[in-house]
Amino acid sequence: MFRKGLIGLLAILVLAVTAPAQVMLNEFFYDTQGTDDTAIMFVEIYGPAGTNLSGWTLVGINGNGGSEYLTVTLSGTIPADGYFVVGGSAVANVDQVVTADFQNAGSQSGEDCDGIDLRDGDGGLVDHLCYGPCGAGHLCTGEGGSNAPDPFPSTANPNSHLARIPDHSDTDNNGADWVISDALTSGLPNSGTPCVPHIATLSDIRAHNLTTGVPTLLDTFVVTRGIVNVNNGSLDSTGNSKFYFQDDDAGCNVYRGTVPAGIVAGDCVVVSGWVEHFNGLTEIVSSGIGNCLFQVQVTAHVTPPAPTVITGSTPFEAFEGMLVRMNNVTITDGTWPAEGSYGDLVITDPDGTIGLTINKWTNVDGSPAPTQTFDIIGILTQYDRTSPYLEYYEIMPRTTADVINHSAAGDPVSGMLAAEFELDGAFPNPFNSTTQIRFTVGAARTLSLSIFDLLGREVTSATLTGLTPGAHSYTWSPTGATGLYLVRLSGESRVETAKLLYLK
């Protein structure tokens, strides 16, 4: 009996010693700044020395439909250091030179997830990595049900890529195991430290070094909250995020990155991202160092923030990123821009001056220029290229409603009251059951709302009466097929449209 037990124990020990250690994807540089440069792209595999990889494959997975867009057949064995590098001719410590574009076209455009598989010679899955958020209709689910982030190389971070940190650690969870790193370590252990989120108020984020003017939390991954004060996308045509949000004490810009569709003024948001600084303006951006994910979550919708009244003698820095109002101003320099053009002007009140910047992606450009004293509402921003960044503050109006002309008697007359209405989009969008179509009313009292499918068939119509100036919404719960719909809102002399994406 003892002899049989000993033989069984020895067998278990032999199996434990001879069983192969795990082979895994360990580092992935799949996107380069500007035009894709296959000479410097690479995939690093980590595993036991001597493992024969001949006949194994690296397979690129397109999250939009799940098709395989790239297959690289491997040859060779893992060297003594455990790192086998597959990549272009300019990659350091490369073991197998290939000319392969590991960047799936379009993976940087909006919410677009992609993946890569490591498969053995029999086609069996050895390791699986999905990266980037999956948008509507896209599917690539990483190990553990979470995806790694999707780095975006830039002038500031040209080597931004994915790596396991700590080196070759695998908990079978892509979101936890993979981080964005700027240190290319092909054929060497990955370096870096997983990031720990810093919970901060907007005042914490806006705090800066008094000598240099640079935020004290520069490059720190923060989690903060506030209320949106300008509709996302209304200040930028790129389709990426650009909006401002604030609390009672401070404001900040959110720049780039994928965010939920339909973010509008009044949305309560929790923002997770990296603190950056651009020409005096403090921003939260979507890429940085560490094992953290940029994210914007909409938690509620409330009345949008009211503007804080400032004067030309106000310390402007304290109100950067916030919605402000300056009364009784006149234009002292610059020209009101034509439609489709930016405008940089100077305005003055009895106490001092400030810049007035008109963004060509709003409807302010091309509108009638004030001919006398007026009031202005807008986001207080800054564009100062020189430390300590204490000059060149600007007010940026969001719509014509922010330009409030005075009558001949000197009374304010809102530009919005002269306009009928504005369609502010829908939230949520995409949606799977119900969405709110949001609009702001000026002079209109009755509006007609229609919703059409892609074949042009009207599926919903409503006459909205008794409207008062301000924000309104119309709730729509479709009963037809999923897909893209068009909402049209019309008044006596104005028609605006928006797209709605219905998913089940």
Instruction: Dig out the tokens for 440 from the structure.
Output: 């702001």
Q: State whether residue 163 is helix, strand or coil.
A: strand
CATH superfamily placement of domain 308-417: Nucleic acid-binding proteins (2.40.50.140)
Closest by Cα among 292, 116, 135, 133 to 219: 292
In angstroms, the CA 439 to CA 414 distance is 17
Question: What does the domain layout of the chain look like in residue ranges?
Answer: 21-181, 198-301, 308-417, 419-502
In angstroms, the CA 127 to CA 59 distance is 11
Instruction: Dig out the tokens for 311 from the structure.
Output: 């004067």
Each residue's pLDDT tens digit, 27-74: 999 988 778 889 999 999 999 999 999 999 999 998 887 889 999 999
Q: State whether residue 328 is helix, strand or coil.
A: strand
Its pTM surpasses 0.85: no
In angstroms, the CA 310 to CA 369 distance is 22
CATH of 198-301, one of 3.40.190.10, 3.40.50.720, 2.40.50.200, 3.40.50.10860: 2.40.50.200
Q: Which residues contact 435 (CB under 8 A, 6 or more apart)?
A: 262, 426, 427, 428, 429, 475, 476, 500
**Paired residues of 272 in beta bridges:** 223, 295
Q: State whether residue 401 is helix, strand or coil.
A: helix
Hey, do 198-301 and 308-417 end up sharing a CATH topology, with the first three levels equal?
yes
Each residue's pLDDT tens digit, 237-279: 655 678 999 999 999 999 987 787 788 899 999 999 999 999 9
Q: What is the dihedral of CA 304, 252, 157, 128, to 10 degrees?
A: -40
Each residue's pLDDT tens digit, 459-481: 999 999 988 877 789 999 998 88
Q: Which residues contact 35 (CB under 8 A, 6 or more apart)?
A: none
Query: Domain 21-181 has what CATH class?
Result: mainly beta
Distance of CA 294 to the CA centre of its chain: 7
Each residue's pLDDT tens digit, 122-178: 999 999 999 887 766 778 888 888 888 888 777 767 888 999 988 998 989 888 889
In angstroms, the CA 285 to CA 12 distance is 52
Q: Which residues contact 318 (CB under 8 A, 6 or more apart)?
A: 250
Query: Domain 419-502 has what CATH class?
Result: mainly beta
